[in-house]
A and B are shown apart, each in its own frame.
Chain A
Amino acid sequence: MIKISNHTHTALSDQQLQKNLLHVLEKTVTDRNEAVSDVPNWEELREYARQVKSHTLSRLDYYLEELESKVQGKGAKVIWAETPQQAIEFILDLAHHKQMNRVIKSKSMLTEEIHLNQSLERFGINPIETDLGEYIVQLAGETPSHLIAPALHKSRGEIANLFVEKVGMSATDDVVEITATARRILRDHFLTAQIGITGANFAVSETGTIVVVENEGNIRLTASVPEIHVAMMGIEKVIPRQSDLSVFLKLLTRSATGQKITSYINCLTGACRDGEMDGPREFYLVLIDNGRTRILRDAYLRQTLACIRCGACQNVCPVYQRLGGHAYGSTYQGPIGAILTPQLESVEKAPEHSFASSLCGACYEVCPVKIEIPHILLKLRNKTQTKKNNKAAHLPMERWAVQLWSWIMQSSYRYERLAACCRVMFKVLSKREKLKSFIPLLKPWIEYRELPSFPEQSFRDLYQSGEQEK
């Protein structure tokens, strides 16, 4: 069971993390807002993208089969993996069969989700991450803490120290020098790798094209230099038409980094053809389910799968802004992680994810595909509470207390009696400060804030005496 509440203290008291979050997220949000204000029909584009995704998800079987046949038509192979194990076994078999063990990777949240690296390492294959942020995280033996900026939690100084310790860089905190070091090391890996693994931002079913968006150029190298290219994607990434790509790319890059367009947009259709000089000899597309068809079954919650992983919801989330990603204890973090994790895993395994939100709705406001995150959180809270034998309740008596509360609130007589009791209780408490910390709901409140005082009269009594005076 993942307990976010066990990690909040660590995150909040980590001064470096707090500094990084404040510094990076504020700039990203400003950049995103500027880039969006450039597009007069932004709201129309959001709505259009939402509809395309909604349509596609409701006929996912059709579009996936179309994608499969188009990809196969380009001489590539398609692998269906229902579970992470099946996807990993495919890579292991491929490596074994081809007698290849030098693997490079580009950034892919899906491969994080299925813990690809750890699984391959157990069999002696050590994939090298080629995205700078991912490379840093890999050197540190950590996991990404943001969808777009995986090493967001690390400061320049921490990264410099890491490079000194792990790859023998001479001491410096010059960004250019650090980047040059990574570039030098990664260059060798690019040139000697036999298998390149990438993710996919989109897969266009009508053409069989895999689209991968980036700024560093490492994806283009990963997908074209090694003899074999394997693209791994969640089944929800398919979009029907090439003509819709322009809309999705516009929404994605502006939402993610505030860029009008990224430095590289790779549209990959099949492997290298006869007579062509560049590109992989073989291309494999691995379609991974890992719980997604289960999410599809609920016509409302299904919209969770429309996510294009831009990270905008994380950047504006007040909770993420204070906790960062690692406190969530899951691959997907922030608002999208809060709704995706309990669905990909289960509400029992991630009982706190849907509760770690003030329901402020800032995430929905920026979501480029209009996922109703706050309302989905409410649905998932309900799912969590209605599970039998749930250990999710933060207070063991919570359910019982809410039932009692509901019964009281159904009658103004009972409500007024409860209020009178509270009034007496507060009077006693105001004279005995120490008692306050023994009352379940008061303790967490007064730890950080002062209590309001109970006025002499309620509004209803005040109103009634006012009416009687007339």
Chain B
Amino acid sequence: MKVSLFVSCLVDQLFPVVGDSTVKILKKLGVEVEFDRRQTCCGQPAFNSGYVQEARQVASVFLEIFKDAGTIVVPSGSCCTMIKIFFPQLFPKGSKEEMLAREISKRTFELSDFLVSVLGVTSVGACFPEVVTYHDSCHLLRELNISRAPRQLIGAVEGINFKEMKDCDRCCGFGGTFSVKFSDVSAAIGEDKIRRIEQSGAQYLIATDVSCLMHLDGLLRRHQVPVKTMHLAELLAQ
């Protein structure tokens, strides 16, 4: 099987290890991976801030790059949501671009969803003898309705001690530009979250989105909570 990787701009520039881990896992499972260097961003920052026109322009470029890409795998719940749910809404009904967006939406998968639902794999042969907890990122959970797949994958890691935290499905407070427009509220919500993470007794926080992790890691370090953050792909590549 062959897939095309869309890593997201954040992973590309700030968390390359997540992209790297994704490639490793997929290759290990015998999947051929392609990475088109023309890719940039899905346009979500503009779209979520109300700049639909600007987001549409970026999305058009994405559609052009990925129109013949086959299955697309994205190691991010929120970028995947942008592509699957919001791309088709960006273009006029019945337009060529809308049709293409709908078609691409169907063949785009978030990483955990791809592994479990498409490949039918839960154990990828990872080993990580540590205590971990999992944060449901909102877009993955409530737009894509994915909550079991990541847990199945975590549960199958050898030696792992998985502890569910209270309010695991509550927002971390990041919210894209919300984190800077209402930074005090965003941080306050995040502080509720890091308290739950701490209470779980975990040493590692796992999630499917580097955006949530970047925000939570920044808070954990500021509050000197000794919990490390780790993207699901990183965990599965251990």
Contact = CB atoms under 8 A, between A and B. Distances in A.
A466 B143 CA distance: 34
B175 A448 contact: no
A460 B222 contact: no
A248 to B, nearest CB: 24
A217 interface: no
B219 A448 contact: yes
A402 B51 contact: yes
Contacts of B17: 455
Contact of B188 (A322, A398, A419, A450): A322
Contacts, number: 194
Contacts of A455: 14-17
Nearest to A327: B185
Contacts of B18: 459
Contacts of B35: 460, 463
B38 interface: yes
B13 A458 contact: yes
A449 interface: yes
A359 B175 contact: yes
B184 A399 contact: no
A451 B214 CA distance: 8
Contacts of B156: none
Interface string B113-148: 000000000000000000000000011011100000
A183 B35 CA distance: 71
B152 interface: no
Overall SS of chain A's interface: helix
A147 B154 CA distance: 41
Given A357-B178, A412-B40, A460-B37, A385 B50 contact: yes
Nearest to B54: A406
Contacts of A201: none
B47 A410 contact: no
B43 to A, nearest CB: 7
A450 B178 contact: no
Contact of A459 (B11, B171, B177, B183): B11
Given A362-B142, A455-B14, A463-B19, A449 B187 contact: yes
Nearest to B11: A459
Nearest to A13: B184
Contacts of B41: 409, 415
Given A318-B192, A407-B57, A445-B218, 16 more contacts: A12-B184, A357-B178, A360-B138, A360-B142, A386-B53, A405-B46, A406-B55, A410-B57, A415-B40, A444-B179, A445-B180, A445-B183, A449-B187, A452-B214, A457-B16, A463-B20
